[in-house]
Chain A
Amino acid sequence: MAVVPLLAPNPRDGLGRALLALDARPKLAFALLTGLILWQLPLVALLFPAVFGFLSCRALGAFTRTNRGLWRMAGMFILVWSGLKVGLDIWGGADLGVGLAAGGEFGVRLVTLVGLGFTLTLSTSPRRLGLGLAWYLQPLLRSQAWKTAMALSLMIHFLPLGLAALGGLHRGLAMRWSDCPWQIRLRLIPLGLLRVLSQATWTQTLAVAARNLDHPQAWQPERSVHLWEWIVAIVPALALLFTVVSG
Chain B
Amino acid sequence: MISAGSLHFAYAPSPPILRDIGFQLDKGQILGLVGPNGAGKSTLLALLAGLLTPSTGTLRIAQVDAMHDNKTVRRKTALVLQEADLTIIGTTVGEDICLGLSPKRRAEALDLATRLRLPAPETPVHILSHGQKRKLCLATALLRRPEILLLDEPFAGLDYPGIREVRGMLRANQDNGLTQIVACHDLEPLADLADLWLVLSNGQQTAFGPAQEVFPLLESMDVRAPCSWRAGLGILPWDDRHKPPSAATPPS
Contact = CB atoms under 8 A, between A and B. Distances in A.
* A joins B in a complex: yes
Interface of A: 1, 3-5, 8-9, 125-127, 153-154, 157, 160-161, 200, 203-204, 206-213, 217-218, 222-223
Contacts of A157: 89
Contact of B86 (A8, A9, A200, A213): A200
A207 B83 CA distance: 9
20 contacts: A1-B85, A3-B85, A5-B126, A125-B91, A125-B95, A127-B99, A153-B89, A203-B81, A203-B83, A204-B86, A206-B51, A206-B81, A207-B86, A207-B89, A210-B81, A210-B87, A211-B141, A212-B100, A217-B100, A222-B98
Given A5-B126, A208-B89, 5 more contacts: A9-B124, A127-B90, A127-B99, A161-B85, A161-B86
Contacts of B183: none
Nearest to A201: B86
Contacts of B98: 222
B59 interface: no
B49 interface: yes
A127 B94 CA distance: 12
A156 B71 CA distance: 28
Contacts, number: 73
B74 interface: yes
Interface residues of B, number: 28
Interface string B70-84: 000011001111010
Given A5-B124, A125-B92, A206 B46 contact: yes
Interface string B13-49: 0000000000000000000000000000000001001
> What secondary structure prevails in chain B residues at the interface with A?
mixed
A3 B130 CA distance: 11
A118 B239 CA distance: 49
Given A5-B126, A127-B89, A213 B99 contact: yes
B210 to A, nearest CB: 29
Nearest to B50: A209
Given A200-B86, A211-B100, A211-B140, A126 B126 contact: no
Contacts of B167: none
B83 A218 contact: no
